[in-house]
Structure formats: structure tokens, C-alpha cells
Amino acid sequence: MAHSIEQDIRGFIVEALLFGRDTDNLGRADSLLTRGIIDSTGVLELVSFVEREYDILVDDAELVPANFDSIERLAAYVERKRSQAPDEAVEEIVSRVA
């Protein structure tokens, strides 16, 4: 059975941010910020993880709670970025370099 994006994100959070302490009561829609699971440094670690793991670029304007505040929201964000048309992805890269 293939891992879902949500499972991968939860695994990263447990290993890298909770240092192996799995919180079974962490729901997929629970706020990572409100629950104290991530702080500004944790957000940067999540950004680095999703960029590396899913080969996407996270724009500064996309660093908002609507995209990064829960496992569910982050997985949906990754899905949207991965389904982005190739031309849009190239334009995004070019705009970052320019």
C-alpha cells in the first residue's frame, strides 16, 4: 500500500518535530501552530521537507496558515502544487530567478 501525502507529512512531523513522540490524538485537521507542534522554525522545516520530498517550490506568499497549519491543509496544498500545469511551474521558477 502506497503512503499518502498525509501519512508522509505526519511521519515527518513525528520524526523531525516531535522527535519520535507520536501523538495519536493529533487529528489531521488540528492546528499545528495552536497545538504548539510547530513554530516559525518548524514551518521552515516543513517547507524544506515538502520542497525536497515533492519537488515543488513554495512561494513566500504561500506561507500562510491556510496552507501550512494542519496535516490536512498541507497535504491539500502539496496536491495543488503537484497538479500545477508544467508551464505554470516553469513561470514560477523563472520569476524566482529574475
The answer as to whether 17 is a domain residue is yes
Structural domain containing residue 73 = 5-21+33-97
What SS3 state is found at 79? Answer: helix
Q: For residue 90, what pLDDT is reported?
A: 63
Centre a 10 Å sphere on the Cβ of residue 93 and count the other Cβ atoms it contains: 11
User: d(Cα 66, Cα 75) in Å, to the nearest integer?
Assistant: 11
Q: For residue 1, what pLDDT is reported?
A: 37
Cα separations in angstroms, 42 against 45, 55, 58, 93, 98:
5, 19, 15, 24, 28
Instruction: Take residue 88 and report the three cell numbers written for it.
Output: 505554470
Q: What is the pLDDT along the chain (98 residues), one digit of tens a residue?
A: 346 999 999 999 999 988 877 666 789 999 999 998 899 899 999 999 999 999 999 999 999 999 999 999 999 999 999 998 666 656 666 676 76
Q: What is the helix (H) or strand (E) element at residue 54, kind and residue range?
A: helix 40-54
Total domains in the chain come to 1
What CATH number is attached to the domain comprising 69? 1.10.1200.10
The answer as to whether 45 is a domain residue is yes
